[in-house]
Structure 1
Amino acid sequence: MTALPNHDPQADWGLPGWIYGSERFFREEQDKVFRPSWQIVCHLNDIPKAGDFHTFDFVGESLVVVRGKDGGAKAFANVCRHRGARLLDGPTGRCGRIVCPYHAWTYDLDGRLIGVPMRDDYPALEMDKQGLARLDLEIWRGFVFVRLEGDGPSVADMMAPYEAEVAHYRFEELQPFGRVTLRPRDVNWKNISDNYSDGLHIPIAHPGLTRLFGRGYGVEAQAWVDKMWGQLIDEPSHAPSERLYQDLLPDVPHLPDDRKRLWTYFKLWPNFAFDIYPDQVDFMQFIPVSATTTMIREIAYALPDDRREMKAARYLNWRINRQVNAEDTELVARVQQGMASRTFTAGPLATSEVSLRSFGRKLRALIPESRLPRPPEGW
């Protein structure tokens, strides 16, 4: 990925509305934003044994992460090298070998081609050169990331400003808590991403979070990651789920005092985030499907803890955030509708909207057409 400039002549302005609905712009994003970006697939504890796998469909590609016999994880295109058939089905599973359901070409867990029926009938076949296409893989604190192409910063580099904070939460020991959920939304992925990092709407649109945090919600932006946070206040909420969460959230001994009641959110470029609570850690991913369709993919993880208070706190956390998600769903739909209006070009940004400024700077650098108030001719 090309180094991005720090100076942005349009820093005081948001992005134009047309790029939130243009299929041509969406195709540009696939090539210049998403294919060179890291995408979270799973945690190592989702694939604990040899042969365990997670598949992931992204920008027209089918990917798979497999746990090898050596204990390591490898990422491949989930595509047979013979006729392009999809190899492994379902979001998760386990296999001893990877066998194509079309012609039974067979690969081992390291991606090597080890079996071809009627092998001698293929004059051009070179077994050692027809293994599965390997993809870049990075493991950061137990989470598994895959990149289709490019050479930009690693996940570790992106999160470097916050390594000391994250270290307290023992990410490597997290176990999946619940299951992967997929929530389709008829909006552009950028609207979900923008909303996630928008601090100005919290006191207006999320009364529950305001009751929990008061006016202490913070937002800051580093080069590749945004951070948002709120400290639970002592004043009891009048909403039952919130008040019970305040009362029942137990002490977490491995966290320092200033984090025992802190909610922290990290959004990494371009489209995924970690929600870090004292009781659990979630990831949320905004998977682009089309210019006006996004799939939100998420799952919760937690450290083993059988205390009744902790189990209750995790359930209450889910109830609170289900309401927040419902509020955000309505808000983002309103914005998507408004973005489609020809009267809307780009709005001014406050100096406090640091995350939106950072996002716009990167997108304008990668796709210069996003600087234009209207789509170029032919778009």
Structure 2
Amino acid sequence: MAKDIPAQTLQAVRQPVETANGLPNAHYIDPETFEIEKHAVLLANWAGLAVAADVPEIGDAKPVTFLGIPLLLVRDRNNQVRVFQNICRHRGMILVAEPRKIEGAIRCPYHSWCYSTEGRLVSTPHVGGPGHNTHESIDKSLLGLVEVRSHIWFNTVFINVDGNAAPFEEVHADLIARWSEFDQPMYHGGFDSSFTLSVNTNWKLAVENYCESYHLPWVHPGLNSYSRLEDHYNITEMGKFSGQGTLVYRQLKGMDDMTFPDFPDLGPKWEEGGEYITVYPNVLLGVQRDHAFVIVLEPKDLDHTDEHVHLFYAAPKTDEALRQKNATQWKSVFEEDIFVVEGMQKGRHAPGFDGGRFSPAMDGPTHCFHDWVARALERYAGH
């Protein structure tokens, strides 16, 4: 596979924000470049796959495809969420085709080889001939499910497919410290607190748009009417994460001015503030005093992305009508961004576009992301 993204291209991206170019067209519309980024950016780092609430109970299993790789999300008998390759070690058959509860073992529908929820191969019926369930050449201890390295933080299941990234806690130590007040139980709002938006764009454009508040007055006029552009600030941690914050977060109210319960023991910063940060490469997070959200960007292919949105609360039970109102409000906000990211994707087919320039005052978070992608590509090219 080619690794020859021109060094001068990456150098132009990694200049200071005042003089840097963005990533050029190939990074959004060229299949070979997408293949390089798949390995260098998404498989080599801690990418978001799902939320732990996708498998809420012991024995729950959910098949997930990530960049064409069939994976299986499982909550094992010890209540640990694991990620396995969703294939039998016998002939590579898909093990679980639909979300379901594993009552006994994970059974391959082809030849009935069976695996525990911890991934051990426990049964190989007739492998030695009819009625003989063992064979001297089949060592079950060596044929368990292939586990993918995973880590859960902020209710999000992150995976490092190539297995070579530094530990998650080390890579994201600064962000974990920044949001340490939210290191407490959060509860998924349930069926009415998750939705998926399918967008015709490269996944990076969804990140780039989310990072900055520059577009608020024109793309989100309703939101900007009370949380104005001038109420926002940039978050730029070069090589780590980026996003935006607001000094004016307005709690949603229901009947009789009902609000969601607050997360306990938060500092004064969060009384009227909120922050919205990208965990590179593909997880968008938001925190406020009374709820949080996780958006896992799933790159379906070069120019199609699914945005999986999940809302979390401080209490296990919250008012259903208020939850639905909150989900509807956030969905409306995120839908307002669709024409922008799809429009930028179409714009990347204009010959000669060099990636554009950044506003030094307003685009720092987006430049920070471009710089991080360029660093990942440089590391990959140096292998």
Partners in 1 of 2:289 and 2:194 — Cα distance?
20
- Match of residue 272 from structure 2: 261
Q: Is the contact between residue 252 and residue 259 of structure 2 (CA under 8 Å) also seen in structure 1?
A: no
- State the match for 2:290 in structure 1: 279
Contact residue 252 and residue 260 of structure 1 kept, 8 A: no
The one of 313, 325, 348 equivalent to 1:339 is: 348
1:276–1:233: structure 2 CA closer, same or farther, 3 Å change rule?
closer
Unaligned runs of 5+ in 2: 1-9, 130-134
Moved more, 107-116 or 358-367: 358-367
Provide the rounded CA distance (Å) in 2 between the counterparts of 1:193 and 1:267: 7
Q: Which residue of 2 aligns with 1:219?
A: 234
What is the distance in 1 between the residues matched to 2:379 and 2:161?
A: 24
Distance verdict in 2 for CA 1:68–1:321, change over 3 Å: closer
Pick which of 148-157 and 269-278 moved more.
148-157
- Once residues 306 and 118 of structure 1 are traced to their aligned partners in structure 2, the CA distance between those partners, rounded to angstroms, is 49
Shift in CA distance, 107/201, structure 1 to aligned 2, threshold 3 Å: same
Tell me by how many angstroms 1:207 deviates.
Answer: 0.9
2:163 is the counterpart of 1:155: no
| Alignment equivalent of 1:35, drawn from 23, 43, 56 | 43
CA apart distance, 1:316: 3.6
Q: What is the CA–CA distance in structure 2 between the aligned matches of 1:157 and 1:329, rounded to whole Å?
A: 34
Q: Could you report, residue by residue, the CA deviation over 1:330-366 in whole angstroms, capped at 9, with x for unpaired residues?
A: 1111111111111422212122322222222222233
**Paired residue for 1:127, among 140, 163, 169?**
140
Query: Are residues 100 and 359 of structure 1, via their aligned partners in 2, closer, same or farther at CA, if it must alter by over 3 Å?
Result: same
What displacement does 1:115 show? 0.8
SS of residue paired to 2:312: strand
SS of the residue aligned with 1:144? strand
For residues 194 and 137 of structure 2, what CA distance do their matches in structure 1 show? 42
**One-letter identity of the residue aligned with 1:365:** R
Choose the corresponding residue for 1:109, options 114, 117, 135: 117
Does the alignment pair 1:363 with 2:369?
A: no
Q: Does 1:348 align with 2:357?
A: yes
Residues 1:71 and 2:85 are matched in the alignment: no
**Equivalent residue pairs, number:** 358
CA distance in 2 between partners of 1:252 and 1:111 (Å): 39
Q: Would you say the 8 A contact 2:261–2:315 is kept in 1? A: no
Confirm or deny that 1:8 pairs with 2:8: no
* 1:188 aligned partner: 202
Runs of 4 or more, structure 1, over 6 Å off, are 241-245
- Could you say which residue in structure 1 is the equivalent of 2:328? 319
User: What is the DSSP-based 3-state SS (H/G/I as helix, E as strand, rest coil) of the residue aligned with 1:120?
Assistant: coil
Shift in Å at residue 206 of structure 1?
1.3
Aligned residues of 1:285 and 1:298 also touching (Cα < 8 A): yes
Moved more, 265-274 or 163-172: 163-172
Q: What letter is aligned with 2:342?
A: A
Contact 2:242–2:366 (Cα < 8 Å) also in 1: no
> Equivalent residues in 2 for 1:284-303 (5 A)?
284-303=295-314
Looking at structure 1, the residues matched to 119 and 174 of structure 2 have their Cα atoms a distance apart, in angstroms, of: 35
Cα displacement (A) at 1:75: 2.1
- Please state whether the residue corresponding to 2:242 is helix, strand or coil: strand
CA contact (8 A) 1:219 1:227 kept: yes
The 1:176–1:39 alpha-carbon spacing in structure 2 relative to 1, beyond 3 Å, is farther
Counterparts of 2:145 and 2:249 in 1: how far apart (Å)?
52
Asked if 1 retains the 8 angstrom alpha-carbon contact of 2:189 and 2:323, the reply is no
* Aligned-partner Cα distance in 1 for 2:151–2:183: 18
Of 26, 35, 50 in structure 2, the residue corresponding to residue 18 of structure 1 is 26
Residue 281 of structure 2 corresponds to: 270
How big is the shift at 1:368? Answer: 5.4
Distance 1:176 1:90 in 2: 22
Q: Deviations over 1:235-256 (max 9, x none)?
A: xxxxxx97879x6546626233
Alignment pair present for 1:146 and 2:159: yes
Partner SS for 1:204:
helix
Tell me if the contact between 1:208 and 1:242 (Cα under 8 Å) persists in the aligned partners.
no
* Post-superposition offset of 1:171: 4.1
How much does 1:180 deviate?
A: 4.3
Cα distance between partner residues in 2 of 1:153 and 1:97: 33
1:174 and 2:177 are equivalent in the alignment: no
Matching residue of 1:136: 149
- 1:281 CA displacement: 1.7
Q: What is the rounded CA distance, in whole Å, between the counterparts of 2:340 and 2:37 in structure 1?
A: 24
Distance 1:21 1:63, change over 3 A: same
Q: Is the Cα–Cα contact under 8 Å of residues 105 and 116 in structure 1 kept in the other structure? A: yes
1:86 Cα deviation from its structure 2 partner: 0.9
Aligned partner (choices 83, 93, 117) of residue 85 of structure 1? 93
Question: What is aligned with 2:6?
Answer: none
Q: Say whether the 8 Å CA contact 1:64–1:76 is kept in structure 2.
A: yes
Amino acid at match of 1:135: V
Equivalence for 1:237: none
Q: CA RMSD in A?
A: 3.1
